[in-house]
């Protein structure tokens, strides 16, 4: 008699996965599913542009700078526009905040149905596109507080308030990583059917791995504790892996373990990574996978930002590896 069908082999799309998650909450309205669906649609569009960037002439700078003072790449603008166009029509989105914009944009008030705020870095690592390095989109979703009437005050919430966080990696394949506070799920885009399919759920970061990821060129400008840690790592057989695209570096760390660091430097004593668009969502993902994330002496998720584009140092990864770094940096 043939073996019975293995249900674990069934195809599960991103949308189906979110619907099943929402079904666990009888009061869920389905609004959240529409937001994730919009992000996935934007990701498919961005993936197509990234894949054809050189052929379509989308490689290179546009000659303008964003609010961060960084030169915008052509695909920064394309990705930013794609996300705004996809999310702008979702009736439950109250505020959109992009790393590329000076201020968040209020789309609708709470009394008009605006329930959520969405923060995003449309194309992290875009300066690497010329050389074919993996780049990505990072996003964070917060509840809208209808009692706060200015957009900046609305989105400046600690990471512990996040409803969901995720990233999309555009590399050898297009990977969508998502957490809604119930573990981490990994999806991969099947270009033939145009859908993100679940390939792994309850992703767990390895407890330890002798790998560190940091831009060691800035070593002499790091605080002393980080320099002492690097000396220790060199003496204890650690390997260095650094791509220079946060999504790619954190994704590798999530799957294989180790530690990712972006310490303070003399040039950026408060840190370089943006809290709302990069540090907070990545911290939620790593913690939900069983790892740790710190900004200075405080858990990254507990940081309370005061500005939309506030920057913080970041230390995240495998629990044992993060704790080892903290022995040196405090």
Domain identity same for 65 and 14: yes
Tell me the mean pLDDT in the region 286-309.
Answer: 97
Which of 1-15, 50-64, 97-111 is modeled with the greatest confidence?
97-111
Domain with 303 in it: what CATH number? 3.40.190.80
Specify whether the CB–CB gap between 227 and 211 falls below 8 A. Answer: no
Least confident of 11-25, 78-92, 96-110, 297-311: 11-25
The predicted model scores a pTM of 0.93
Domain identity same for 282 and 317: yes
Domain identity same for 117 and 190: yes
316 assigned to some structural domain: yes
**What is the residue range of 224's domain?**
211-329
Tell me the mean pLDDT in the region 4-8.
Answer: 51
Phi and psi at residue 233, to the nearest 5°? -65, -40
Helix segments in 191-272, DSSP class H: 224-235, 246-256
206 assigned to some structural domain: no
Least confident of 43-47, 64-68, 165-169, 294-298: 64-68
pLDDT at residue 242, as a whole number: 96
142 assigned to some structural domain: yes
pLDDT band at 131 (very low <50, low <70, confident <90, very high): confident
Question: Over 90: is that where the pLDDT of 260 sits?
Answer: yes
Phi and psi at residue 302, to the nearest 5°? -95, -5
Domain identity same for 98 and 156: yes
Domain identity same for 265 and 185: no
pLDDT at residue 73, as a whole number: 79
Question: What are 97's two structure tokens?
Answer: 């905040």
Question: What are 309's two structure tokens?
Answer: 């584009």
238 assigned to some structural domain: yes
pLDDT at residue 7, as a whole number: 47
Could you give the 3-state DSSP secondary structure of residue 297? coil
List the beta strands (DSSP E) in the chain: 61-65, 71-73, 93-98, 105-106, 116-124, 135-143, 162-170, 174-179, 184-190, 195-200, 211-213, 239-240, 259-262, 273-274, 292-295, 298-299, 311-312, 314-317
Instruction: From 200, 226, 254, give the residue that closes a domain.
Output: 200
1 assigned to some structural domain: no
Q: Which residue has the higher pLDDT, 35 or 55?
A: 35
Specify whether the CB–CB gap between 214 and 242 falls below 8 A. Answer: yes
Instruction: From 176, 200, 224, give the residue that closes a domain.
Output: 200
Domain identity same for 165 and 240: no
Domain identity same for 180 and 238: no
3 assigned to some structural domain: no
**Average pLDDT for the chain:** 91
37 assigned to some structural domain: yes
Domain identity same for 232 and 196: no
Could you give the 3-state DSSP secondary structure of residue 102? coil
Domain identity same for 114 and 215: no
Share of the chain above pLDDT 90, in %: 73
| Alpha-carbon span 31 to 4, nearest angstrom | 37
136 assigned to some structural domain: yes
Share of the chain above pLDDT 70, in %: 91
Tell me the mean pLDDT in the region 176-197.
Answer: 96
pLDDT at residue 1, as a whole number: 42
* Strand partners for 294: 299, 315
SS3 percent helix, strand, coil of the chain, rounded to 5, is 35, 25, 35
pLDDT band at 3 (very low <50, low <70, confident <90, very high): low
pLDDT band at 185 (very low <50, low <70, confident <90, very high): very high
Domain with 170 in it: what CATH number? 3.30.540.10
Question: Over 70: is that where the pLDDT of 27 sits?
Answer: no
Domain identity same for 43 and 122: yes
Note the pLDDT tens digit of each residue in 137-160.
999 999 998 888 788 899 999 999
Rounded to 5 degrees, what angle do the CA atoms 134, 10, 168 make?
A: 20
Provide the total of helices (H) and of strands (E) in the chain, helices listed first. Answer: 8, 18
Domain identity same for 147 and 273: no
Domain identity same for 112 and 35: yes
pLDDT at residue 54, as a whole number: 77
pLDDT band at 132 (very low <50, low <70, confident <90, very high): confident
Least confident of 52-61, 111-120, 195-204, 218-227: 52-61
Name the domain count of the chain: 2
């Amino acid at each position: 008699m043939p073996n019975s069908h293995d249900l674990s082999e069934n195809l599960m799309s991103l949308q189906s996965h979110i619907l099943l998650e929402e079904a666990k909450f009888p009061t869920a309205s389905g609004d959240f599913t529409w937001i994730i669906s919009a992000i996935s649609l934007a990701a498919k569009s961005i993936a197509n542009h990234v894949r054809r960037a050189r052929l379509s002439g989308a490689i290179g700078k546009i000659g303008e700078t964003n609010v961060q003072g960084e030169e915008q790449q052509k695909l920064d603008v394309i990705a930013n526009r794609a996300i705004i166009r996809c999310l702008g029509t979702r009736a439950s989105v109250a505020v959109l905040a992009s790393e590329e914009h000076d201020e968040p944009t209020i789309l609708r008030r709470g009394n008009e149905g605006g329930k959520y705020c969405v923060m995003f870095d449309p194309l992290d690592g875009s300066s690497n596109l010329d050389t074919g390095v993996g780049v990505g989109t990072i996003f964070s979703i917060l509840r809208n507080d209808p009692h706060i009437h200015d957009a900046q005050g609305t989105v400046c919430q600690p990471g512990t308030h996040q409803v969901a966080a995720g990233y999309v990696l555009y590399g050898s394949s297009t990977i969508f990583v998502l957490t809604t506070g119930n573990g981490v799920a990994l999806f991969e885009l099947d270009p033939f059917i145009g859908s993100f399919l679940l390939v792994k759920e309850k992703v767990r970061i390895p407890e330890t791995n002798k790998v560190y990821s940091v831009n060691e060129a800035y070593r002499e400008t790091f605080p002393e504790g980080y320099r002492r840690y690097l000396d220790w790592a060199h003496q204890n057989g650690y390997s260095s892996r650094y791509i220079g695209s946060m999504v790619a570096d954190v994704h590798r760390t999530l799957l294989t373990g180790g530690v990712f660091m972006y310490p303070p430097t003399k040039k950026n004593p408060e840190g370089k990574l943006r809290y709302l668009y990069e540090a907070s969502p990545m911290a939620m993902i790593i913690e939900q996978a069983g790892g740790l994330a710190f900004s200075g002496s405080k858990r990254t998720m507990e940081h309370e930002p005061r500005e939309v584009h506030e920057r913080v140092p970041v230390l995240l990864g495998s629990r044992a590896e993060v704790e080892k770094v903290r022995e040196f940096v405090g």
